[in-house]
């Protein structure tokens, strides 16, 4: 049975990834911050462990007892941008220390070399977050791990469409449902396609939220 450890799994795309993996019969270890409501993860059959992403030792301890070839993914991010940066770097370092072969990082369009294509509106809203995510991306590339970086467009709550796309071009714009992103991410994990690629995730059929219409 394939095993996955997932950071940032409590809600949104992270929760959807965990649910997709469990539906496929995977053993899923979901890591959430202490005190977080993990009832949806428990209902999905995940093993829940707690760790503050900014606590290096706690993040490392979350891997205890897992197989060396465990798949690793992180969707960490939030209001505290240090989680986007240092939190993800702690996960990368713990992955390497455990001996796991690779890691999938969910970042964002507007990070790294896609920043030049980001709109002024996006940069004004979350420019500092994108810089933090860029630092995490750079740390992953320098780690020596096999990796995939997925940069979704704007995330929305909508049903699965089956039309989401992973593309190498970074000069793209658009939106994607969280569950559709989860489908694409789980496909990469299931096929073990951690080939050092950075991919944008968008869905041409996904309408923008009302505030963007």
Low-confidence stretches of the chain (pLDDT < 50) are: 213
Assigned token pair, 167: 């593309």
* C-alpha distance from residue 29 to each of 45, 74, 87, 105, 203 (Å): 9, 12, 17, 16, 28
Please name which of 154, 120, 155, 151 lies closest in space to residue 133, comparing C-alpha atoms. 151
Q: What is the pLDDT of residues 46-81, one digit of tens each?
A: 999 999 999 999 999 999 999 999 999 999 997 788
Report the distance separating Cα 213 and Cα 206, nearest Å.
12
- Domains identified in the chain and CATH numbers: 3-212 (3.40.50.720)
- Residue 18: per-residue pLDDT: 97
- Residue 210: per-residue pLDDT: 62
- Residue 125: per-residue pLDDT: 78
Report the distance separating Cα 105 and Cα 111, nearest Å.
12
């Amino acid at each position: 049975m394939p095993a996955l450890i997932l950071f940032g799994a409590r809600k949104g795309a992270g929760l959807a990834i965990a649910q997709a993996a469990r539906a496929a019969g995977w053993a899923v270890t979901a890591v959430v911050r202490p005190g977080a409501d993990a009832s949806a993860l428990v209902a999905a059959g995940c093993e829940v462990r707690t760790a503050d992403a900014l606590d290096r030792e706690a993040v490392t301890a979350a891997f205890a007892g897992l197989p060396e070839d465990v798949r690793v993914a992180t969707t960490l991010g939030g209001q505290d941008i240090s989680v986007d940066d240092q939190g993800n770097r702690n996960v990368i370092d713990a992955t390497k220390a455990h001996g796991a072969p690779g890691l999938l990082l969910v970042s964002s369009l507007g990070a790294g070399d896609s920043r030049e294509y980001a709109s002024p509106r996006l940069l004004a809203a979350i420019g500092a977050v994108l810089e933090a995510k860029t630092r995490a991306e750079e740390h992953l590339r320098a780690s020596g791990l096999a990796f995939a970086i997925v940069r979704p467009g704007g995330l929305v709550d909508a049903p699965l469409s089956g039309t989401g796309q992973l593309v190498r071009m970074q000069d793209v714009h658009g939106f994607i449902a969280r569950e559709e992103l989860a489908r694409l991410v789980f496909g990469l994990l299931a096929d073990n396609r951690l080939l050092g690629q950075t991919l944008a995730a968008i869905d041409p059929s996904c309408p923008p939220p009302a505030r963007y219409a």
